[in-house]
């Protein structure tokens, strides 16, 4: 058997490679991981959420970014591309963002395991995060982790297109109908 040497990259090498690449890659502890392509359904769901949060958070101290912006998850060790991220306005960089308040991942067959396991653990360890939504693209299902007033995580599961997700940190709510508009 031939041993294959694993390559590890510095953050600087990752950023240099990512600037030249036509494809997106995530960075996890020195490893550069290619991102799978996105379906039109996943893109529509992310766009519906982007429009909702952009309009709702207008003139509030938050910024909303869709899937082409890197999120630094652990100090210079992990960079991810969430499908949507809401951050506090201040304290961010040009090449990536930090301090998320809300993260959305639209699940696909190729990313569901990573989104539900590795990314969930990484994201929920971030002290500023209030919500992590995992949105299924093939049926109207949203899984949500929300931080309660004691700093503990609650889990909610939404399976009815008529349901509404409460987001008290933002003093708003969003319906599954809004998330899946034009899709279901």
Superfamily of domain 37-179: tt1808, chain A (3.90.1570.10)
How does pLDDT run across 4-48, given as a tens digit for each residue?
556 889 999 999 999 999 899 999 999 999 988 788 999 999 999
Q: How far apart are CA 115 and CA 122, in angstroms?
A: 10
Contact 63, 86 (CB under 8 A): yes
Contact 9, 30 (CB under 8 A): yes
CA 165 to chain centre: 17
Q: What is the pLDDT of residue 136?
A: 97
Measured CA to CA, the distance from residue 11 to residue 8 in angstroms comes to 10
The pLDDT of 119-123, averaged and rounded, is 96
DSSP code of residue 168: G
Q: What is the pLDDT of residues 59-111, one digit of tens each?
A: 999 999 998 899 999 887 999 999 999 998 876 667 899 999 999 999 988 88
Tens of pLDDT, residue by residue over 128-143, are 999 999 999 999 999 9
Q: How far is residue 170's CA from residue 148's CA, in Å, rounded to a whole number? A: 13
Instruction: For residue 67, give the DSSP letter.
Output: T
b/e burial code for range 13-28 (CB count within 10 A of at least 16 → b): ebeeebeeeeebbbbb
**pLDDT score, position 38:** 82
The helix or strand, by DSSP H or E, that contains position 166, with its residue range, turns out to be strand 164-167
Residue 3's pLDDT is what?
Answer: 56
Distance set, CA 1 to CA 4, 6, 8, 102 (Å): 9, 15, 22, 46
């Amino acid at each position: 058997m031939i041993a294959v040497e694993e390559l590890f990259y510095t953050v600087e090498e990752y950023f240099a490679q990512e600037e030249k690449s036509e494809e997106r890659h995530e960075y996890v502890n020195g490893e550069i991981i290619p991102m799978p392509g996105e379906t039109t359904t996943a893109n529509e769901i992310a766009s519906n959420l982007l429009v909702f949060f952009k309009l709702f958070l207008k003139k509030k101290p938050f910024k909303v970014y869709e899937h082409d912006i890197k999120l630094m998850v652990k100090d210079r060790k992990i960079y991810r591309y969430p499908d949507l991220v809401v951050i506090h306005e201040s304290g961010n960089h040009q090449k990536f963002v930090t301090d998320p308040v809300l993260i959305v991942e639209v699940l696909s067959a190729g990313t569901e395991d990573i989104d539900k396991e590795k990314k969930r653990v990484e994201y929920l360890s971030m002290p500023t995060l209030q919500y992590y939504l995992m949105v299924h693209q093939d049926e109207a299902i949203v899984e949500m982790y929300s931080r309660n007033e004691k700093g503990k995580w609650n889990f909610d599961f939404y399976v009815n297109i008529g349901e509404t997700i409460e987001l008290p940190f933002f003093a708003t709510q969003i319906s599954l109908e809004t998330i899946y508009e034009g899709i279901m």
